[in-house]
Amino acid sequence: MPYITTADGVQIYYTEQGTGQPIVFSHGWPLSSDAWQVELKRFADAGYRAVAHDRRGHGRSEKTYSGNDMDTYAKDLSAVVEALDLHDVVLVGHSTGGGEVVRYAARYGQPQGRVARVVTAGAVPPLMLRTDANPDGLPIEVFDGIRAAVLKDRSQFWKDLTESFFGANRGRAVSSGDKDDFWRQGMLVNLAAAYDCVKAYSETDFTEDLKALEVPILIAQGDDDQIVPIADAAYKAIKLVKRGTLKVYEGAPHGIQGDYQDRLDQDILDWIKG
């Protein structure tokens, strides 16, 4: 299997399909590059070089105890892009991956001249946690509860999480296969990485990263996202970027699935060409 090695010696798995302008996909928590299987084919079919990696600790990447933080995730993404010598890159990040691509673009991709555009979907920026500077955020008790559930019985937690993640609890059509695949990917994360990533996605402040972006960014999110509230995410992020386009999907959940996936993928393709 294809791997790159980071500066601190961690093995990061990646997969790619197609040729052309590179599009690099960063997945959400607790998933892997498998979450992008549909996009890898669709974008390769559309004439792009589609690349996705498993975040450290996730999927087929090395099961890490340390480095499970957003700064390191961004460095790992930079290592993938540099190892593959990608230029004119379109970055696409979902949820935690949205934070990863924003930080990477601001701190590495733009200075190196590698990034052309950024897309986020249901992404965690600018900041999920409630603080004095972010009084509308979610209280720390929410994230403490997630950590406790992951530590106690992560297998059952992944199963329970599929309901709100995909909006099945709101009547959306979600197959047992979609739910099972989420559970399968979740069970590939080692416990330390899954636990620590909660802090990474909830407590990292991306405000300055968003402000630093000079490239165009498409900020997409469903207005029925029960995992990352849109009022604290897309609606705030769009006000911080210089060249942003906001796309809100009525009734869409957090998970990229079904009709939401079809619409989002087509909109990304259209936006890249526009």
Catalytic residue positions, numbered: 95, 225, 254
Which pair of structure tokens corresponds to residue 138? 């979610």
- Name the residue among 191, 25, 187, 179 with its Cα closest to residue 98: 25
Separation of alpha carbons 146 and 230, rounded Å? 19
Number of Cα atoms under 13 Å in the Cβ half of residue 147: 15
Q: In what order do the strands lie in the sheet with 3-5?
A: 3-5, 11-17, 49-53, 22-26, 89-94, 115-121, 217-222, 244-249
Asked if residues 228 and 128 have their Cβ atoms less than 8 Å apart, the reply is yes
Q: Cα dist. 205→134, 202, 210 in Å?
A: 10, 8, 10
**Alpha carbons 117 and 228: distance in angstroms, whole number:** 23
